[in-house]
Amino acid sequence: MGQTLYRKIVDSHTVFRVDDEHVALYADLHIMNEYTSPQAFAGLAGKNLPVRCPKKQMGVVDHVIPTHPVAVDKRTIMIDAAAQQAANFTRNCAKHGIHLFDVQDRAQGIEHVVAPELGLIRPGMVVLCGDSHTTTYGALGALGFGIGTSEVEHVLATQTLVYRVAKDMRIVVDGALPAGTTSKDLVLYLIAKIGAQGARGFVVEYAGSAIDALSAEARMTLCNMTVEAGARGALIAPDETTFRYLAERMDADAFIAQWKLLESDADASFDITHRFDACEVAPFVTWGTSPDQAIAIDARIPRSADQRNATKALDYMGLDAGQTLDGLAIDHVFIGSCTNARIEDLRAVADIVRGRRVASSVRAMVVPGSGMVREQAEREGIAQTLIEAGFEWRQPGCSMCLAMNDDILDPGQRCASTTNRNFEGRQGRGARTHLMSPAMAAAAAIAGRIVDVRKEFQHV
């Protein structure tokens, strides 16, 4: 029987089998941030252990960094606890010879944006990071997944991880995404269909003509949010789209023949297969406090079978079952995060807002995913378009994706957000988050309310 792409990658990185369910898995690259690494470094110090492979580590300050629009060399973390975290991270990376994209580095950004754009993520790799959205790297045919702090310590010390092998799930999406929809709408649609735990214990491989048609950056959005269905990883077999993306960032010619072998065999067996038609996808928006609580913009909030959780979510969000989201007033728009802060995302926003103005009732922020994205957006005139429309043009960082820096919503504020999680308090205590695509968020900023981008901005 043939092998799935997932099993091929796991087998090629297995140092030894621990037991029937676990292997010692070798990591090609380990990425760290200032938030999930301190205890790991402290553990090494307590055991007097070195970092085994410093050149296979990478550090990025991204979660706690402020994104105020000041010059890069003037960026300063003003929150004392956050500043201490970053300072400790800097010292630890310097001590162990680990390359760090620090606060005042021009290439600093969100870890899951920085690593691919520098050509550090390649097909067939195993990439680990103390952040759940490491699944992003499956877009380039790499097995990426998040790990806990104790596991970070283990990887630093050994460059391996004791890993429980997951099951295989295949999600096939055929057809073409309708005009006005994106991979963000697709992944919200899929999560709503299979549920927040629908892929728990699985690594998901995406396939089908709709997946083939996605750009590399759109695939990153898809794989990034697959963890919100409980998946332990996400993969897309590398193809010509992958190779073109990598060729712009590295000398890829010598590797393409090898990368072409990274696909599931025709007779490979998957534990579960789901099939969907891309033609059914509409612009999707979350109504609740979990990413699977999402509906098409032209639908109504369902009277959920899981009544207790639905009622709790609706109470928190200030909404009612049967209500439509179309026309719901918002206070804030946030465009950014490791899900949607790449150059293609910002181009989509600029296409919507060009020649228009942000509603007077809305505060709108755009936080690019990295210094490289920011500079490219400025070269292309995107930044100027956004500024002229009334958006705040910020420096890179995780920003308002999570309330871990000084970009925080006030209680009760309602935000149209391109981020990946809408949990209670995710963007600030009592804040209300509606996840959507960059185009939908841009349209909401102009209209001052959640609207159907297909109807309000028909030229797009």
Predicted local confidence at residue 8, as pLDDT: 98
Task: Give helix 371-379 / helix 343-353 axis angle, nearest 10°.
Answer: 40
* 442 pLDDT above the threshold of 50: yes
Can you count the helices (H) and strands (E) in the chain? 16, 19
d(CA 119, CA 251): 9
Q: What is the pLDDT of residues 297-328, one digit of tens each?
A: 999 999 876 787 899 999 999 999 999 999 99
CATH number assigned to the domain covering 284-456:
3.30.499.10
Q: How confident is the model at residue 1 (pLDDT cuts 50, 70, 90)?
A: confident
Which pairing describes strands 160-164 and 272-277: parallel, antiparallel, or unpaired? unpaired
d(CA 364, CA 387): 10
Task: Note whether 34 and 85 are within 8 A (CB).
Answer: yes
Check if 167-238+258-280 and 284-456 are the same fold.
no
Task: Note whether 180 and 454 are within 8 A (CB).
Answer: yes
Q: Where are the domains of the chain?
A: 5-163, 167-238+258-280, 284-456
Q: Which residues contact 194 (CB under 8 A, 6 or more apart)?
A: 229, 274, 292
Residue appearing with tokens 């899929």 = 190
Q: Which residues pair with 25 in a beta bridge?
A: 14, 161
Handedness of CA 135, 138, 139, 142 (dihedral sign): positive
d(CA 98, CA 94): 6
- Nearest CA to 27 out of 134, 114, 143, 133 is that of 143
Helix (H, G, I), strand (E, B) or coil at 446: helix
- In the sheet with 363-366, reading across from the earlier edge strand, the strands are 392-393, 363-366, 332-335, 414-417, 432-435
Q: Which residues pair with 236 in a beta bridge?
A: 206
Q: What is the DSSP track for 124-152?
A: T-EEEESSGGGGGGGGGT-EEEE--HHHH
Q: What is the pLDDT of residues 135-178, one digit of tens each?
A: 999 999 999 999 999 999 999 999 999 999 999 999 999 999 99
Identity of residue 297: I
d(CA 134, CA 425): 22
Q: Which residues contact 126 (CB under 8 A, 6 or more apart)?
A: 9, 13, 25, 26, 27, 28, 29, 142, 143, 144
Q: What is the pLDDT of residues 251-284, one digit of tens each?
A: 999 999 999 999 999 999 999 999 999 999 999 9
The pLDDT of 186-215, averaged and rounded, is 98
pTM score, two decimals?
Answer: 0.97
The pLDDT of 194-211, averaged and rounded, is 98
d(CA 312, CA 304): 11
Handedness of CA 91, 96, 97, 101 (dihedral sign): negative
Helix (H, G, I), strand (E, B) or coil at 171: strand
d(CA 338, CA 144): 14
Q: Which residues pair with 203 in a beta bridge?
A: 168, 233
Q: How confident is the model at residue 460 (pLDDT cuts 50, 70, 90)?
A: very low
- Give the E-state strand segments of 147-291 in sequence order: 160-164, 167-174, 202-207, 233-236, 272-277, 284-286
Task: Note whether 365 and 407 are within 8 A (CB).
Answer: yes
Q: What is the pLDDT of residues 334-371, one digit of tens each?
A: 999 999 999 999 999 999 999 999 999 999 999 999 99
- The most distant pair of C-alpha atoms in the chain lies apart, rounded to whole Å, by 62
Fold of the domain built from segment(s) 5-163: Aconitase; domain 3 (3.30.499)
Identity of residue 158: T
Fold of the domain built from segment(s) 167-238+258-280: Aconitase; Domain 2 (3.40.1060)
Q: Which residues contact 183 (CB under 8 A, 6 or more apart)?
A: 177, 214, 218, 219, 221, 222
- Give the E-state strand segments of 267-331 in sequence order: 272-277, 284-286, 294-296
